[in-house]
Amino acid sequence: MKIKYTDSLIIGGGLAGLRTAIATSAKGLSTIVISLVPVKRSHSSAAQGGMQSSLGNCIMGEGDNEDVHFADTVKGSDWGCDQEVVRMFVQTAPKAIRELASWGVPWNRIKKGDREVVINTKKTTITEKEEAHGLINARDFGGTKKWRTCYTADATGHTMLYAVTNEAMRLGVQIEDKKEAISLITKDGQCFGAIVRDLKKGGLTAYVAKGTLIATGGYGRIYKQSTNATICKGTGHAIVLNAGGYMGNMEAIQFHPTPIVPSGILLTEGCRGDGGVLRDKDGYRFMPDYEPEKKDLASRDVVSRRMLEHIKKGKGVMSPYGEHLWLDISILGRKHIEKNLRDVQDISKTFNGIDPADKDKKGWMPVLPMQHYSMGGIRVTPKGESVNIKGLFSCGESACWDMHGFNRLGGNSVSETVVAGMIVGDYFGDFCKKNNINIDTKMVEDELNKQDDYLNNLLKLDGDENIYDIKNEMRIIMQNFVGIFRNGKDLKIAVEKLKTLLQKSKNIKIKNKCRLLNPELEEAYKVPMMLKVALCVAKGARERTESRGAHHREDFLKRDDKNWLNRTISYWKNEDDLEPTLKYEKLDIMKMEMPPAFRGYGKKGNSIENPISQKRQNEVDKITKEHKGDRYELQEKLMPYELQEIYKEKNQRLGDENE
Amino acid sequence: MLNADIIESITGKTTKKHKSRIPAKLDLLQSITGLILALFIVFHIIFESSILLGKETMYKLTMIFELEFIIEGGSPIFISILAFVIFIILIFHAFLAMRKFPNSYREYLRFRTHTKLMNHSDTNLWFIQISSGFMLFFLASIHLYIMMTQPQNIGPFASSDRIYSDVMWPMYLMLLVSVVLHAGVGIYRLIMKWGIFDGENPRKNRVKTKKIIQIVVVFYLIIGIFSLISYMKIGYDHRANYGEKYIPQMELKNEN
Amino acid sequence: MSREITIIALKYNPSDETSKPRFAEYKLPETAGMTLYIALTKIKTTIDHDLSSDFVCRAGICGACGMIINGKPRLACKTLTSEFKDGKITLLPLPTFPLIKDLSVDTGSWMKNMNIRVNSWIVSTQKTDISKFEKKIEPKVAEDIFELDRCMECGLCVASCSTAIMKENFVGAVGLNRVVRFSIDPHDERNDADFYELIGDDDGIFGCMSLLACEDHCPKNLPLQTKIAYMRRKMVMV
Ligand SMILES: Cc1cc2nc3c(=O)[nH]c(=O)nc-3n(C[C@H](O)[C@H](O)[C@H](O)COP(=O)(O)OP(=O)(O)OC[C@H]3O[C@@H](n4cnc5c(N)ncnc54)[C@H](O)[C@@H]3O)c2cc1C
Ligand code: HEM
Ligand code: HEM
Ligand code: SF4
Ligand code: F3S
Ligand code: FES
C-alpha cells in the first residue's frame, strides 16, 4: 500500500492552490500541491483581462479605495455575498498585487503625460500625473466605478500564474503534476487527506495530511458551451460531496457575454473595457438602449441577458451555429489592438479567420454568451474551512467563500484566488501547525481499497450504456434547461433527466479493460461526479424562486430579499441518493455594512424589499452622520471584521495626505 | 595536476568558486576562427580567380604574395608560412567545431530522423555545414599540404598543370563546393548567432541576410567554377610542356 | 462541401507491457472550422475510446497540446484541419519529452527541471512592504519583460531543436529565454556572472547552435533568436 505523508496537502495548482502553498511553506510546513496538469497550464493561465485592486494610481482610478471596491463588489453580487469576506478581500487586494509585482509580474505601468483612450467609443485624451509614472496601471472593466483592473496586456492570468508558481518553486514547494484526487479520506467529520491517482502511470496513492485544501477551480464543463478549460469538471467539488461536505450557491453560474462563436474561446472583457462595443445584425450598437449608464460595460449577467433579449427580438445574426451578435473592436485602431489585445486578435484570426483590426464589418467577431464562472462551490467559513468537515479547507473558484454572491465582477476572480491564497492560506497553515492527527492506518487503507475496488468494479460493469453519451446528454440538458434564462418547468425536467443519467451511469460498459492508463475508465468515474455537481446546480436553481444576479428566473423576475436573502446549501445525505439535499443559510441584514438596495444597473424597482433593509439603512446612515474620524474608523463601526494584522494595514496611495 | 580538476573530473562538481569560463572562450574562438577562415576564402577565391583576367594578372598576384615588392624576385617561403598559419587555424577551428558533431550513431540517427521529418530550412543548413565541414577536414588538409610543401608551384602554368595533368580538378571541385557552402552558411549563422544585424526588425533582416548570402554563394560558385575551367583549359593547352614555368610578359619583352 | 479526412496517430502505452507502438488510422467527416482538438475529441468519443492526448485550454493559451503534425511541432488546438489539402494528417507525440501514452507526453517534469535549473524566479534580498508603494518600473521595461514572459512552456522550441534532440541535457530556448527575462527585470538582483553560473556551459547557452527552429516554431512568436544572441554576447563577456 502506498501512503505519503505531508503537513499540508493542496489539491489544485492554479493561482489559489499555489498561493496557499506559498503561505504554508512560509510557515515551515511540508507542502504538497497536486494538479491534473502541469500547474502552469491550470485554468488560471487563461484569465486575460486583469485583476482588480484599488490602487488608484492611474488618473481614471483616482479616488479609488477599499470602500469603492467594496461597494462595487457587493452591488455586483446582488447582495448575495458575505460582506465581511468582501471587506477582507478589498483590504488585501492592493497588497496582493504589490506582492505579485515583487515576484515579477510585469504589470503594465503608467506613462506620464497624455494618452489617447477610447471611452464610450469616443477618442479622449487623458493625462497621467508625473508622480504616477512607473506605478501599476489599470484599465476599465465591467461593473466598476473606477478604472481598477490591473493587467499585463491580455495575458494577466498567465503572468500571475507563472510568477506564483516560480515563487512556490523557489520556496521548495513539492509540486506533483498529472495527479488527480479521486476521493477524500474522512472519518467522523474530519478530513485526513486524499486518495490520489497517478495520471502518468495509473496507480493509486493515499496522501495523508494534517490539513487538506481544495483549490480545484470551477465546474463549467458540465455545460455544453463554456469558456472553461477541458479540465474544469468539478471533480474537486464532487469528492467533497462524496465525503458529505456542503456546497454553497451552486446555482450561481455566470455567463460571459463575449466568447467567440462557435469555439467558445473567451474574448476578454478588456475588449469592451478598452472601448469595444456590441452590435446587432444591422450593425447597430444596442446596449445604450438597454443600459443608458454603463452601456456595454454593465455587469456580465446584465449584458448577457440583454444580448439574448436582443436576439429574441430578431436582431441576432444568423449563422450555421445558430444566432449570434457582433463584437466590434476595430474602432480602437490597429495599433492599440496589436499592442494591448494581441491575444484576442490571435484567437479571432486562428479560430475564425477574422482580423479584428480590419475596418468596419470585416473585423467584427461573432459572439454569444456562454457559461463562464462558478460563483458557488465548497461552502467555507471566512477562514476558508469547510463548514461541516474539519481539516478541510478550500479557496479560489472552487470555494464558496462568498465574496461573489450571485454574480462576480470581471477581474475580481483572479484577485480572489491570490487574496484568498494569502488569507485562507495563512489560517490553513496555522491549522496544520496546531492540528496533531493520530493516523489510523486502517482507515486510510480502507479508503484506498474502497477506491481500488470501485475502479475495478467499473471495469467489470456489463451494461448497455455508453459513458460518452451520458456525458454529452448531461451537458446539453444543462445548456438548454439550466442556462441564462431559467424557469420552473425546465428546471424540473432538468433535475429529473439528470437523475436518470446518474442512474444510467451505473449501468455502463467499458470496452478497454486496462486498469492503468485508460481514458474511458477515467470518464467512467468522472461523469458520475460531474452529474452530482450538475444536480446541485439544477436543483438549487429549481428551488430558488427569484432572480438574483446571474440566476435569472423568467417566472420570478424580481430579486426577493424577503424570502431569498440566503445561501443555498446542497449536500449528499446518503451515498446512494440520486439527488442532493438542500437547506438554506440566512444572510443577516442587520450585520451588513451595505443593506440591499438598487444595483445601479438593470431594471429599477425590480426587487421585493425586505423591511429590515430600510431599518438597517437608517442605522447605517445614523452612524455615518454621527461619525467623527476617518473612513477606516467608520468602517470598523459599521461592520467589524477579522483579518490578519499584516493584511489589515492601510494601503498607501497617491494623494494619501489629503485624506 | 590540480586537486580541483581531479575532483571535478570525478564528481562533476566544481570546487572552484566560479563556473569555468572556458566554454565561453571556446564558443567565441570557434566563431572567430570560422570568421577568419571565411574572410580568407572570400579573398582567396577572388585572387585565385584572377586567372580569368589572364595569366599575367594571376602571375603578378602570386608574386605579390611571395612578397616580391619587398624581396627581389620574391620567395615562396612566405606562401608556405601563410599556408601553415591557415592550417593551424583550420585545425583549431575544426577541433572546436567537432564538439558539435553528433558524437554517437544514436545521436546521429535521432538528429537525422528529426531533421528529415521536420524539414526546417535553417536546421537543414546546419546539416550542410557539418557535412561540408567534414569534407573540408580532408580536402582542405590535402590542399594546404600541397601549398605548404610546394609553394613554388603556384602560377598560371604550374597550377594549371596540377589541376589538369595531375588530375587534381575533382578534388578542387569538391573543395570549392564545400568551402563556399560552408563559409556562406557559416557567415549567415554567425550573424544569427551573435545577433549582428538585428536592427529594428530582426525578422525582416534575417530574411534579407539570407537572401544576400545566397547571392554571394552563387556568385562565388560561378567564378570558382569558371576559374577551374580556365585552369583546365590552360592545363590542356600546356599538357605537352608539363612542368614548365610561366614566364611573365615583362621578362619576355626584356628578352626581346 | 464537407470532405472526409484521415488522421493517423501513433499509439503506444509504455506502462502496458503488451502494448506495441503502431500507427492507428481514423477517418472522419470534416466540419467547418474544425481544429485538431475538435477532430481528436470526436475520435476519442466515437471511434477510439482509448486514444490519449493532452488538451487543457483548447485556445492556444496553456501550451498543453504540442504534437508533431505532419512533421512540424505545433499546437494541435490551434491547427485547423482545412490547412491540409490532401486531408491526411499524421500525428506523433513530441520528441525529447518522456512519452506517457499515445500523443500525451510529460512536458511537466522537463519544464520543472528546467525552471529549477535556471532558478526561474526573482532573486532579491530586499523585503517588500506590501502595504507601501510598489517599486516603480519604466513602462517600456515592463513591456519588454512581458514580451518574454509570454512563453507558455509548450516545449515546441525544445521539440523542434535538433540540439535538444541530440543532447538530453540541453536547456533549450525556453530556458535561455527565461534567463533573459529575469536578467532584464529590475526586481532581480542577479548580475551576468550569476547567470553565467546557471547557463555558462555547453548544456546551456554555448550548446545552442543557432538552428533557429525554436524561433520558427514558437507559437507565441517570441524573439528567441535575438534574445539568445543577446545572452550569448553577455555571457562571453563575463
Ligand atoms: C477564459 C477565462 C478568462 C478569465 N478571465 C478572468 C479575468 O480576466 N479576470 C479574473 O479575475 N478572472 C478571470 N477568469 C476567472 C479566473 O481565471 C478563475 O476563476 C481563476 O483563475 C480560478 O483559479 P483557481 O486557482 O481557483 O483554479 P484553476 O486555475 O482552475 O486551477 C484548478 C487546479 O486544480 C487542479 N485540479 C482540478 N481538479 C483536480 C483534482 N480532482 N485533483 C487534482 N487536481 C485537480 C487543476 O489541475 C488546476 O491545477 C477567467 C476565466 C476564464 C474561463
Ligand atoms: C595559404 C594557404 C593557401 C594557398 C596559398 C592557396 C593557394 C591556392 C592556389 C594557388 C590555388 C590554385 C590552384 C592550385 O595552384 O593548386 C588554389 C585553389 C583553391 N583553393 Fe587554395 N590556397 C590556400 C588555402 C586554401 C584553403 C584553406 C582553402 C579552403 C579550405 C582553399 C580552397 C581552394 C579552392 C576551393 C581552390 C579551387 C578554386 C577554384 O575552383 O577556382 N585554399 N589555392
Ligand atoms: C577542417 C575543416 C572544417 C571543419 C571540420 C569545420 C566544421 C565546422 C562546423 C561543424 C561548424 C558548425 C559549428 C556550430 O554550428 O557551432 C563550423 C562553423 C563554421 N565554420 Fe567551419 N569547418 C571547417 C573549415 C572551415 C573553413 C575552411 C571555413 C572558412 C571558410 C569555416 C568557416 C566556418 C564558419 C564561419 C563557421 C560558423 C562559426 C560559428 O557558428 O561559430 N570552417 N565549422
Ligand atoms: S519559447 Fe515559445 S516554443 Fe518555447 S516553450 Fe516558450 S512558448 Fe513554447
Ligand atoms: S533551435 Fe536549438 S540550437 Fe539554439 S537557436 Fe534554437 S535553441
Ligand atoms: S490546449 Fe492549451 S494550448 Fe492547446
Q: B12 lies in a domain?
A: no
Q: Please give the sequence-ordered ranges of beta strands (E in DSSP) within chain C, or none if there are none.
A: 4-11, 22-29, 66-69, 72-75, 88-92, 99-101, 104-105
Pocket test for ligand 4, best of C62, C74, C146, C151 (most atoms within 8 A of CB): C151
Query: For residues C190 and C238, what is the distance between their CA atoms, to the nearest angstrom?
Result: 13
Residues contacting A23, CB < 8 A, separation 6+: A421, A422, A425, A426, A428, A429
In the predicted model, what is the mean pLDDT of chain A? Answer: 93
Structure confidence at residue B69 (pLDDT) = 75
Q: Please identify among residues 203-242 of chain B the ones whose CB lies closer than 8 Å to any CB of chain C.
A: 206
- Please state the rounded mean pLDDT for residues A208-219: 97
- The structural domain count of chain B equals 1
Cα angle for residues A587, A591, A593 (degrees, 5° grid): 110
Question: 3-state class of A249 per DSSP?
Answer: coil
The model's pLDDT over A131-150, given as tens digits with 9 standing for 90+, comes to: 999 999 999 887 788 999 99
**Residue B177, CB half-sphere, CA atoms under 13 Å: how many?**
8
> Which ranges in chain C are annotated with CATH 3.10.20.30?
4-104
Q: How far is CA C46 from the centre of its chain?
A: 29
Q: Which residues of A are annotated as catalytic? A: 256, 272
* Interface with chain C: mutation pick from A51, A91, A97, A109, highest number of C CBs within 10 Å: A109
CA distances, A514 to each of A374, A470, A590, B175, C55 (Å): 34, 21, 58, 60, 22
Cβ-defined contact of C165 to B110 (cutoff 8 Å): yes
* Interface with chain A: mutation pick from C130, C141, C188, highest number of A CBs within 10 Å: C130
What residues of C are in contact with residue A26 (Cβ under 8 Å)? none
Q: What residue type is assigned to position A204 of the chain?
A: L
Ligand nearest to the CA of B45: 2
Longest dimension (CA), chain A: 74
Query: For residues A282 and A326, what is the distance between their CA atoms, to the nearest angstrom?
Result: 10
Distance, CA A216 to ligand 1 centroid (Å)? 7
Distance, CA B95 to ligand 3 centroid (Å)? 10
Residues contacting A176, CB < 8 A, separation 6+: A32, A33, A34, A35
- Please state the rounded mean pLDDT for residues A48-73: 94
Closest CB to B206: pick one of C225, C230, C235. Answer: C225
More confident residue, C1 or A295: A295
Q: B35 lies in a domain?
A: yes
| pLDDT over 90 at A650, yes or no | yes
Q: Which residues of A155-186 are buried (b: 16+ CB within 10 A; e: fewer)?
A: bbbbbbbbbbbbbbbbeebbbbbbbbbbbbbb
User: Ligand 3 pocket by C-beta < 6 Å: which residues?
Assistant: B 30-31, 34-35, 37-38, 41, 90, 93-94, 97, 100, 129-130, 133-134, 136-137, 140, 179, 182-183, 186-187, 189-190, 193; C 209
Per-residue H/E/C for B81-134: HHHHHHHHHHHHHHHHHHCCCCCCHHHHHHHHHHHHHHCCHHHHHHHHHHHHHH
Cβ-defined contact of B24 to C235 (cutoff 8 Å): yes
Structure confidence at residue B17 (pLDDT) = 72
CA distances, A451 to each of A205, A441, A516 (Å): 10, 15, 14
For residue B98, count other CB atoms closer than 10 A to its CB: 14
Report chain B's C-alpha Rg in angstroms: 22
Structure confidence at residue B124 (pLDDT) = 95
Pair C223, B200: CB distance under 8 Å: no
Closest CB to C226: pick one of B28, B189, B202. Answer: B202
Residues contacting C64, CB < 8 A, separation 6+: A37, A38, A41, C54, C55, C56, C57, C107, C154
Quickly state the pLDDT bin for A127 (edges 50, 70, 90).
very high
Bridge-based pairing of strands A174-177 and A31-35 is parallel
Element (H, E) at A559: strand A559-560
Q: Which residues of B109-122 are buried (b: 16+ CB within 10 A; e: fewer)?
A: ebbeebbebbebeb
Cβ-defined contact of A231 to C149 (cutoff 8 Å): no
Cβ-defined contact of B117 to C68 (cutoff 8 Å): yes
- Please state the rounded mean pLDDT for residues A473-493: 95
Cβ-defined contact of A106 to C146 (cutoff 8 Å): yes
Q: B169 lies in a domain?
A: yes
First to last CA, chain A: 63
Beta-carbon pairs below 8 A across chains B and C: 92
DSSP character string of B133-149: HHHHHHHHHHHHHHHHH
Backbone angles phi, psi at C167, to 5 degrees: -110, 105
Could you say which DSSP state residue A268 is in?
Answer: P
Cα of B216 to nearest chain C Cα, Å: 21
At how many degrees (to 10) do helices A156-170 and A15-26 cross? 30
Structure confidence at residue A49 (pLDDT) = 83
Query: For residues A602 and B174, what is the distance between their CA atoms, to the nearest angstrom?
Result: 81
Backbone angles phi, psi at B99, to 5 degrees: -60, -25
Q: What is the ipTM of this complex?
A: 0.93
Fold annotation for C106-123+135-236: Fumarate Reductase Iron-sulfur Protein; Chain B, domain 2 (1.10.1060)
Beta bridge partners of C29: C4
Which of A634, A6, A82 shows the shortest CA–CA distance to A403?
A82
Which of A127, A171, A153 shows the shortest CA–CA distance to A50?
A153
- CATH number for the domain spanning B49: value is 1.20.1300.10
Residues contacting A130, CB < 8 A, separation 6+: A112
Quickly state the pLDDT bin for A657 (edges 50, 70, 90).
low
Q: B154 lies in a domain?
A: yes
Cβ-defined contact of C165 to B195 (cutoff 8 Å): no
Question: 3-state class of A520 per DSSP?
Answer: helix
The model's pLDDT over A552-579, given as tens digits with 9 standing for 90+, comes to: 999 999 999 999 999 999 999 998 899 9
Quickly state the pLDDT bin for A659 (edges 50, 70, 90).
very low
CB-count burial class (<10 Å; 0-12, 13-18, 19+) for A128: buried
- Please state the rounded mean pLDDT for residues A78-98: 97
B164-170: long-range contacts, CB 8 A cutoff, minimum separation 24: B164/B231, B164/B232, B164/B234, B164/B235, B164/B236, B164/B238, B164/B239, B165/B235, B165/B239, B165/B242, B169/B228, B169/B231, B169/B232
**Residue A19, CB half-sphere, CA atoms under 13 Å: how many?**
30
> What is the grid cell recorded at A198?
497517478
Question: 3-state class of A147 per DSSP?
Answer: coil
For residue B44, count other CB atoms closer than 10 A to its CB: 13
> What is the grid cell recorded at A274?
478598452
Which of A328, A321, A324 shows the shortest CA–CA distance to A281?
A324
Structure confidence at residue B16 (pLDDT) = 66
Pair A106, A162: CB distance under 8 Å: no
Backbone angles phi, psi at A256, to 5 degrees: -90, 140
Q: Which residue do the cell numbers 540517427 mark?
A: B109
What residues of B are in contact with residue C119 (Cβ under 8 Å)? none
CA distances, A469 to each of A432, A504, A521, C134 (Å): 43, 10, 14, 52
Per-residue pLDDT of chain B (256 residues; tens, 9 = 90+): 567 677 777 776 666 678 899 999 999 999 999 999 999 999 999 998 998 988 888 888 888 888 777 777 777 888 889 999 999 999 999 999 888 888 889 889 999 999 999 999 999 999 999 999 999 999 999 999 999 998 888 888 999 999 999 999 999 999 999 999 999 999 999 999 999 988 899 999 999 999 999 999 999 999 999 999 999 999 999 989 888 888 877 666 665 4
Q: B5 lies in a domain?
A: no
Alpha helices in A138-234 (DSSP H): 156-170
Pair A386, A26: CB distance under 8 Å: no
Q: Which residues of B163-195 are buried (b: 16+ CB within 10 A; e: fewer)?
A: bbeeebbebbeebbbbbbbbbbbbbbbbbbbbb
Residues contacting B196, CB < 8 A, separation 6+: B190
Cβ-defined contact of C119 to A99 (cutoff 8 Å): no
Structure confidence at residue C27 (pLDDT) = 96
Chains adjacent to C (≥3 CB pairs closer than 8 angstroms) = A, B
Q: B1 lies in a domain?
A: no
Which of A246, A500, A527, A537 shows the shortest CA–CA distance to A371?
A537
Which residue segment(s) compose the domain that B64 sits in? Answer: 19-255
- Please state the rounded mean pLDDT for residues A424-435: 96
Look up the CATH number of domain C4-104.
3.10.20.30
Cα of C152 to nearest chain A Cα, Å: 8
> What share of chain C in percent tops pLDDT 70?
100
Pair C114, C164: CB distance under 8 Å: no
At how many degrees (to 10) do helices B22-48 and B169-194 cross? 130
Query: For residues A119 and A18, what is the distance between their CA atoms, to the nearest angstrom?
Result: 36
> Which ranges in chain C are annotated with CATH 1.10.1060.10?
106-123+135-236
Closest-CA residue in chain B for C74? B118
Closest-CA residue in chain A for C146? A106
Closest-CA residue in chain C for A229? C57
Backbone angles phi, psi at A177, to 5 degrees: -100, 170
What residues of C are in contact with residue B193 (Cβ under 8 Å)? 210, 229, 232
- Please state the rounded mean pLDDT for residues C97-118: 96
Query: For residues A15 and A162, what is the distance between their CA atoms, to the nearest angstrom?
Result: 9
CA distances, C70 to each of A439, C40, C60, C86, C93 (Å): 53, 15, 19, 12, 11
* Interface with chain B: mutation pick from C91, C119, C166, C170, highest number of B CBs within 10 Å: C166
> What is the grid cell recorded at A436?
496533531
User: Which residue has a Cα nearest atom 20 of ligand 1?
Assistant: A44
- Please state the rounded mean pLDDT for residues A501-527: 93
